[in-house]
């Protein structure tokens, strides 16, 4: 289950950031995950439930934002959201060579005190 490893990594990062700010508790952790990143939001929540069984995560709220996939067609010079795993441009049918969003996993916000 790579979601557990992922969330542990994110938590370690967040904890480090909180410590740098001189904070002792983390109230909220906000993550952005791309729908193409291979991360299952539900599995991520379950992994966080494991992590948050102990301090300093007991009272931390986890917020997940799933970013839809966006592709770019070089021929039509337009961005589009593919309807399935085949990233075909809705206008010309060409397969997009570029995925401009949907692969990220980012820590977007952290609320500490
Ligand atoms: Zn196109």
Could you read off the pLDDT of 92-103 as tens digits, one per residue? Answer: 999 987 888 888
Whether the pTM exceeds 0.85: the reply is no
In this predicted model, what pLDDT tens digit does every residue of 7-47 receive, in sequence order?
999 999 999 999 999 998 999 999 999 888 888 899 999 99
In this predicted model, what pLDDT tens digit does every residue of 35-86 receive, in sequence order?
888 888 999 999 999 999 988 899 999 999 998 889 999 999 999 998 777 8
**Are 60 and 72 spatial neighbours (Cβ–Cβ below 8 Å)?**
no
Q: Which residues of 99-110 are buried (b: 16+ CB within 10 A; e: fewer)?
A: eebbeebeeeeb
What distance in angstroms lies between residue 84's CA and the mean position of ligand 1's atoms?
16
10 sits in which H/E element: helix 2-20
What distance in angstroms lies between residue 82's CA and the mean position of ligand 1's atoms?
12
Q: Where are the domains of the chain?
A: 2-112
Q: Tell whether omega for the bond before 36 is within 30 degrees of 0, i.e. cis.
A: no
What distance in angstroms lies between residue 92's CA and the mean position of ligand 1's atoms?
4
CATH 3.30.2320.80 given to domain 2-112: yes
Rounded CA gap, 97 and 31, in Å? 27
What distance in angstroms lies between residue 67's CA and the mean position of ligand 1's atoms?
22
């Amino acid at each position: 289950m790579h979601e557990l490893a992922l969330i542990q990594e994110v938590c370690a990062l967040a904890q480090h950031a909180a410590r740098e700010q001189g904070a002792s508790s983390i109230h909220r952790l906000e993550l952005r995950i791309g729908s193409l990143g291979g991360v299952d939001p539900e599995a991520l929540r379950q992994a966080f439930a494991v992590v948050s069984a102990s301090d300093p995560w007991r009272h931390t709220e986890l917020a997940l934002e799933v970013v839809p996939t966006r592709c770019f067609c070089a021929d039509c010079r337009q961005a589009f959201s593919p309807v399935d795993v085949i990233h075909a441009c809705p206008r010309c049918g060409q397969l997009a060579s570029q995925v401009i969003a949907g692969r990220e996993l980012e820590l977007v916000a952290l609320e500490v005190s």
